[in-house]
Amino acid sequence: MSRLIPIRETILASAILLLMVLIASRFSGFVAPSNLANVFNDTAPLIILALGQMVVILTRCIDLSVAANLALTGMTVAMINMVFPTLPIPLIIAIAVLLGAAMGAINGLLVWKLSIPPIVVTLGTMTIFRGIIFLISDGKWVNSHEMSASFTGFPRALILGLPVLSWVAIATVVIFAIMMSRTQFGRSIFAVGGNPHAAVYTGINVGKTQFWAFVVSGALAGLTGYLWVARYAVAYVDIAGGFELEVVAACVIGGISIAGGIGSVGGAVLGAIFLGVVKNALPVVNISPFWQLAISGSAILIAVAFNARAGRAKGRIILKSDETSMGAAQ
C-alpha cells in the first residue's frame, strides 16, 4: 500500500534540509537560490543515471557499466563532432542515446539469454567499454577547441534561468514518474523485483523485463555521456571514473532495495540530491573532498541497514498475523 507521504522519502528530505541548514550556519551563501540552482545542475547527471540504475536494481540486477557507457558514448560523439562539426545537435543526441541503449542491450542479453549474474556481466562490459575508448581515441583527449560551439553550448544554454542540463534532468524525472506508476512496463519492473516467480504466473517474462531495464539504463547513460562531455568540454579515457559507485549509492540512499521490488523515483532523486549537496558543501566548510567517499559509504551502510531492518519487521508482522489466524482456526 502506498502512502500519501512516503516515510523513507520524508526522512531523506528532512536529512537534506538539516544538512543545508548546518552548511548555511557556516556559509549563508550556500542556500542562495543561484547557488542551489548550480548545485542542482551539478547533480543533474547523477539524477539521470540514478533513475536508470533504479529501474535495473528494482528487477534484482545491477549495472556497474553506466560510467563506462557514459565515457564511451561521450568520447564517440565528441570525435564525431570533431570530424563533422556542423552535424545537428538533435542528431548527436540521438546517436548518443542509441549507442548507450545498444551497450545496455548487450548487458541485458548476456543476463537474459546466458543467465550470467548481472554484477559479473557489467563488471566485464565496464572494462571492455573503457578499453574501446582507448582503442578509438588512441589514448588522446578531445579538448574544447576541437568541439563546435553548438556542441558545447547546448547543455549550458539557459531556459527560464536554468541550464538545459537541469531541464533534461527534470524532464527525465517527470517521464520516469509517469512510466513507473502509470505504464505496464513500470508495473512489470516492480513485479519482477518483488516476486519473479509470481510474475511468471501472471504472464510477465522476467528475463525480457530485465533486458529492457538494462536498455533504459544504457540509453540514459548514453544521453548523459553527451551532456557530460559537452558541459565540461573535454573527453578522455578515464572520464567519470568510479562514478558508477556514486550512482549505486544514490539509489541505495534513496531507499531502492538492492533485493529488488522496493523503491521510488522520488527516492532515487533525493538520494542523488543528498550526494550532490554533500559534494558541493565539503569545500565550502573546509573539509577535504576525499571525505565524500567516507560519507557516501557511511550513508550506504545506514541505508542498507535501514532497508534490511524494515524488511525483517515486515516479515515478523506477516508471521504474527499468520499465527493469529491459525490460532483462530483451531
pLDDT at 29: 84
- The model carries a pTM of 0.90
Average pLDDT over residues 275-285: 84
Q: What's the mean per-residue pLDDT of the chain?
A: 88
| pLDDT tens readout for residues 148-185 | 999 999 999 999 999 999 999 999 999 999 999 999 99
Share of the chain above pLDDT 90, in %: 67
pLDDT at 303: 74
CATH label, 7-292, candidates 1.10.10, 1.10.3470, 2.40.160, 3.30.530: 1.10.3470
Assess whether pLDDT exceeds 80 at residue 75: yes
DSSP state of 30: G
Q: Where are the alpha helices (DSSP H) in 115-205?
A: 118-137, 149-153, 164-182, 184-194, 196-201
> Which range, 217-226, 289-298, 321-330, has the best average confidence (pLDDT)?
217-226
Query: Is residue 37 packed enough to be buried (19+ CB in 10 Å), middle (13-18) or exposed (0-12)?
Result: middle
Tell me how many degrees the CA angle 127-107-112 measures, rounded to the nearest 5.
145
| pLDDT tens readout for residues 19-74 | 899 888 888 888 899 999 999 999 999 999 999 999 999 999 999 999 999 999 99
Assess whether pLDDT exceeds 70 at residue 252: yes
In whole angstroms, give the CA distance from residue 90 to residue 111: 31
Neighbouring residues of 4: CB distance < 8 A, sequence distance ≥ 6: none
Contact 136, 80 (CB under 8 A): no
Output Rg (C-alpha) for the chain, integer angstroms. Answer: 21
DSSP string over 101-140: HHHHHHHHHHHHHH---HHHHHHHHHHHHHHHHHHHHTT-
In whole angstroms, give the CA distance from residue 142 to residue 53: 28
In this structure, how many other beta carbons lie within 10 angstroms of the beta carbon of residue 97?
A: 20
Count of all residues that appear for the chain in the document: 330
- Spell out the domain ranges in the chain: 7-292
Task: Name which of 50, 31, 29, 108 is nearest 246 in CA terms.
Answer: 50
For 87, the grid coordinates are: 552535424
In whole angstroms, give the CA distance from residue 283 to residue 8: 28
Assess whether pLDDT exceeds 70 at residue 268: yes
Assess whether pLDDT exceeds 60 at residue 250: yes
Identify the band that residue 315 occupies on the pLDDT scale cut at 50, 70 and 90.
very low
| pLDDT tens readout for residues 188-244 | 999 999 999 899 988 999 999 999 999 999 999 999 999 999 999 999 989 998 899
In this structure, how many other beta carbons lie within 10 angstroms of the beta carbon of residue 314?
A: 11
